[in-house]
Structure 1
Amino acid sequence: MAEKKNRPTPKRRDVEKMKSTPRLAPAATKEAKKLQKQQARVLRARQRDAYLRGEEGALPPRDRGPVRRFVRNYVDSRRTVGEFFLPVIILVLFMTVMPIMEIRIASIFLMYGVLIISVIDGIFIGRKVKREVKSRFPDAETKGIAMYAWLRSTQMRRLRAPLPHVKRGEKI
Structure 2
Amino acid sequence: MIDDAPGKGRPTRSRKEAEAARKEQMKRPTGRREQMRRERERRNKLRDKQLAALDGRGDAAYLPARDRGPVRALVRDYIDRRRSVAEYMLPILVVILVLSFIPNPTAVTVVFFLWSVTILSTVVDEIFLVIGLKRELKRRFEPGETKGAVTYGVLRSTQLRRTRRPRPTIERGEPLRDRY
**TM-score by shorter chain over 0.5:** yes
Name the structure 2 match of 1:64: 68
Structure 2 distance, partners of 1:98, 1:51, is 42
Matches of 2:158 and 2:63, distance apart in 1? 20
Structure 1 equivalent of residue 19 of structure 2? none
Structure 2 SS opposite 1:163: coil
Matched, 1:109 2:113: yes
Counterpart of 1:89?
Answer: 93
Number of aligned residue pairs:
145
- How far off is 1:168 after superposition? 0.5
SS of 1:141's equivalent? Answer: helix
TM-score under structure 1 length normalisation? 0.70
Structure 1's consecutive aligned runs of 4 or more residues displaced over 6 angstroms after TM superposition are 32-39
- Unaligned runs of 5+ residues in structure 2 are 1-31
Rounded Cα–Cα distance in structure 2 between residues aligned with 1:34 and 1:170:
46
Name the residue aligned to 1:18.
none
1:169 is matched with: 173
Give me the whole-angstrom Cα distance separating, in 2, the residues matched to 1:147 and 1:55: 24
CA RMSD of aligned residues (A): 2.8
Is structure 2 residue 149 aligned with structure 1 residue 145? yes
Distance 1:102 1:36, change over 3 A: farther
Per-residue deviation, 1:74: 0.9
In structure 1, the residue corresponding to 2:159 is in which secondary structure? coil
After superposition, residues 117-128 of structure 1 pair within 5 angstroms as 117-128=121-132
Matches of 1:58 and 1:36, distance apart in 2:
18
Output the TM-score relative to the length of structure 2: 0.67
1:157 matches 2:169: no
**In structure 2, distance between residues paired with 1:158 and 1:130:** 25
Q: Unpaired runs of 5+ in structure 1?
A: 1-26
Give CA deviations for 1:54-98 in whole Å, capped at 9, x if unaligned: 742222222111111011101111111111111101111211122
